Amino acid sequence: MNNLIKLLNPVTINQWNLKNRIVMAPLTRGFANDEDGTVTEEMVAYYEQRARDGVGLIITEGVNPNLAGKGTYGIPGLYTEAQTVSWKKVTEAVHRHGGTIIAQLWHVGRLSHSDLIGGTPQAPSSIQAEGKVHKLHKPYQVPEAMSIQDIQDTIQHFQNAARNAVLAGFDGIELHAAHGYLMDQFINEKTNHRTDEYGGGIQERLRFLKEIILAVKKEISVDRISIRFSEKKDDDPSFAWTDKAAMIDAYLNLFRETGITILHPSTDRYTTAWAGEKTFHEVIRQQWEHTIIGVGNLDARAAEEALNEGIIHLAAFGRPFIANSDLVHRLHAGEPLVEYDVNKHLPVLI
């Protein structure tokens, strides 16, 4: 077992009885049916293989709550009956092997293109992102600023997606409020120049996320909801919060107010100092009494150390799961891992 006692032993997190503390991080693969957003047999095989190997918790690739949320090719949805039914094949396969799986709900906002969604992308404000759309290789378009009705409709779409996640057999959901996507676009003052109740101060900018949490809670118990959030932005690598402490306070106060107990703070590298000598996760742990999922290019040793120190409760691995469908077995056996190679592994399914 190579002394990975904490990492490989079973654990109970709220209503989830997990085989171990290993989490399969959300990994965009682009293997869904691009025409209708339904799950393919290749996706079923992909998730089932990881569940068969014994991973504790699977967080799916980002799943769209509506067509406007789509940011590249081959992204699955949870907004039609056909999509919902197709996901049942995945959840049933995972559950056959005693696994636990939650759906990550993901709306990219302005980081989309009319070629993908058939209309102008929407965002809190009409501010164009820098760079090009993933796989489409076209510059981001100037988005349309969302009206109050657009906002309310989108919140309802998230609620409907949460309801469909339950119908599809998922054990929970994760809200992707990180990396510069729609929820994060509302939170970030650089992308939100609104002057109504959804813009201005941090409390107003957090309102969109708050109302989504309150909406999805109507469909699934709050102790089955994880929130992914981050300082880092995929479209703005140099971005940093002006007041780190105030932002963390604002987030954590919101999560306490809404009853959230599972956080998935996202950073490129878990071990990198973020505020003084402390890492992003360490800063959050100082103020957060509930579950934290660690992520950020973790290896098994670093994960075990963080678990033993009580900084995190679960450890998420991304690329190692693409390169090693039998990652859990290899960790149990002390076998070396296959190193991830984008050219070799990105198109590889099993």
Query: Which residue stretches of 265-299 are H helix?
Result: 280-287
**Average pLDDT of span 220-233:** 98
Rounded Cα gap, residues 65 and 164, in angstroms = 10
Inter-residue contact 63 to 160 (CB < 8 Å): no
pLDDT per residue as tens digits for the range 108-155? 999 999 999 999 999 999 999 999 999 999 999 999 999 999 999 999
Which tens digits make up the pLDDT trace of 13-63? 999 999 999 999 999 999 999 999 999 999 999 999 999 999 999 999 999
Do 216 and 162 form a contact (C-beta atoms < 8 A)?
yes
Question: Residue 350: pLDDT band by 50, 70, 90 thresholds?
Answer: very low
- As a whole number of angstroms, the distance between CA 292 and CA 260 comes to 11
The string of pLDDT tens digits covering residues 1-12 is 468 999 999 999
Tokens of 148: 């109050």
Does residue 212 register a pLDDT over 70? yes
Residue pair 320/339 in contact (Cβ under 8 Å)? The answer is no
pLDDT digits (tens, 9 = 90+) for 143-156: 999 999 999 999 99
Mean pLDDT computed over 87-104 = 98
- pLDDT tens by residue, 159-202: 999 999 999 999 999 999 999 999 999 999 999 999 999 999 99
Q: Which residues are catalytic?
A: 181
* Distance, CA of 24 to CA of 46 (rounded, Å): 12
pLDDT score for 69:
98
**Calpha distance 158→167 (Å, rounded):** 14
Return d(Cα 308, Cα 150) in angstroms, integer. Answer: 45
Assigned token pair, 48? 């089932």
- The DSSP result for 163-230, as a single string, is HHHHHTT-S-EEEEEEETSHHHHHH-TTT----STTSSSHHHHTHHHHHHHHHHTTTS-GGGEEEEEE
Residues whose CB falls within 8 Å of the CB of residue 121, separated by 6 or more in sequence, listed in order: 68, 108, 109, 110, 111, 112, 113, 114, 140, 141, 143, 144
Reduced to 3 states, what is the DSSP secondary structure of residue 342?
helix
What span, in angstroms and rounded, lies between the C-alpha atoms of 283 and 235?
24
**CA-based torsion, 282, 284, 290, 295: positive or negative:** negative
Q: Angle at CA 57, nearest 5°, toward 253 and 168?
A: 90
Provide the 10 A C-beta neighbour count for residue 105. Answer: 27
State how far the Cα of 208 lies from the Cα of 261, in Å rounded to an integer: 19
- For 63-89, b/e burial (b = at least 16 CB within 10 A) is bbbbbbbbbbebbbbbbeeebbebbeb
Determine the angle formed by the axes of helices 148-167 and 81-96, rounding to 10 degrees: 40
Residue whose token pair is 């991304």: 318
Mind listing the pLDDT tens digit for each residue in 249-290?
A: 999 999 999 999 999 999 999 999 999 999 999 999 999 999
Residue 342 pLDDT: 74
209 close to 187: Cβ distance less than 8 angstroms? yes
Model confidence band, residue 107 (pLDDT cutoffs 50, 70, 90): very high
CB 254 within 8 A of CB 206: yes
pLDDT at 340: 86
Is the distance from CB of 71 to CB of 32 less than 8 angstroms? no
